[in-house]
Structure 1
Amino acid sequence: MNFSKPKKKQKGVIIQDIGKEVVLRNVDEKTIHVLNTTARIIWELCDGEHTIGDMERQLRETFSIPDDTNICNDIVNTLTVLAEKGMLEEL
């Protein structure tokens, strides 16, 4: 899947806010995914406009992550899981 500017699936996904976490339900795929705070930020930035670099910058600002800590693999892993659960648009 191309993650250059990922976009969340709008149709068939029900979003339920449960405080710091969010539950995504894909009606078509019959899957449920609970996002922690970090994954929630990544999900919210999946608008077709933000890149992985944008996500990295936002996470570093939100959680004060040092520059020498590699988080890009974690972002890609999160996007991969979201894609596998049918939560992202296929580009």
Structure 2
Amino acid sequence: MVRKQVYITQSQENLLKRKAAEMGVTEAELIREALDSQMYTIGYPRRSAQKWQEEGQFIEERMAGKEHSAQRTWKREELYDR
């Protein structure tokens, strides 16, 4: 991560502290989430766009009948034994 210093208003500071406490996250995490959300809103892709593309390709391969390279080592019935 990269350290950034920004100036915010007193009302933003109060809201940030209150919301971070309510959500049980750090102020920095709340700021990062807000920044990601705003960037997405104005048209910038989120960091996970590549992962979504990979997931889409995986789904398409499964739908086409191609098997995933990793074979299961368990059976569905075994899940109920846990």
TM-score (norm 2): 0.26
Greater relative CO, 1 or 2 (CA 8 Å, sep 6+): 1
Question: Normalized per residue, which structure has more helix?
Answer: 2
Question: Normalized per residue, which structure has more strand?
Answer: 1
Which structure's CA Rg is the greater one? 2
